Amino acid sequence: MGEGLGTVVPDDVAMTKGLLSDAEFGLWRAMSSADQVHSLQVLHIFEQLVPDATRDEKSAALLHDVAKAISPMSRMARSVATIGSFRRERWRWYRQHEVMAVEVLQRVGSSQRTIELVRRSAQDVVALRLYEADDSV
């Protein structure tokens, strides 16, 4: 990631392309730059917590918020939806983005391990470190 800039640099793109399948990489590229930066931050923290993480586990770090790319909400509205308990339909949809991400990842053939981590259904030590990394940024 760009040194302290919060931007995605060509090396980030190349590294991401090397970790993800072509279809997964297309999904990652469809994410907003802010969501790409967040995914890279999560991956960096996750790799520090689990240095021997597998490709599928690292892919989950990069793709955990992939459904946000198709969200009809602005970044500000998404932030409010994340911390609020709202009943409006589009906000309820947003708060279910992990379910939507799983559906998209199943369609593009992501591994079962990547999917279970994005779904947050795995509870092993590696999974808990990934969730910790995501919750920390």
For residues 137 and 127, what is the distance between their CA atoms, to the nearest angstrom?
16
- pTM value is 0.79
Nearest to 65 by CA among 91, 89, 30: 30
* Predicted pLDDT of residue 121: 93
* Predicted pLDDT of residue 67: 84
For the stretch 11-32, pLDDT in tens is 999 999 999 999 999 999 999 8
* Predicted pLDDT of residue 22: 97
Neighbouring C-beta atoms of residue 128, cutoff 10 Å: 13
The answer to whether 75 and 38 have CB atoms below 8 angstroms apart is no
For the stretch 94-126, pLDDT in tens is 456 667 888 899 999 999 999 999 999 999 999
For the stretch 67-92, pLDDT in tens is 877 654 444 444 444 444 444 554 45
The answer to whether 19 and 59 have CB atoms below 8 angstroms apart is yes
Q: What are phi and psi of 59, to 5 degrees?
A: -60, -40
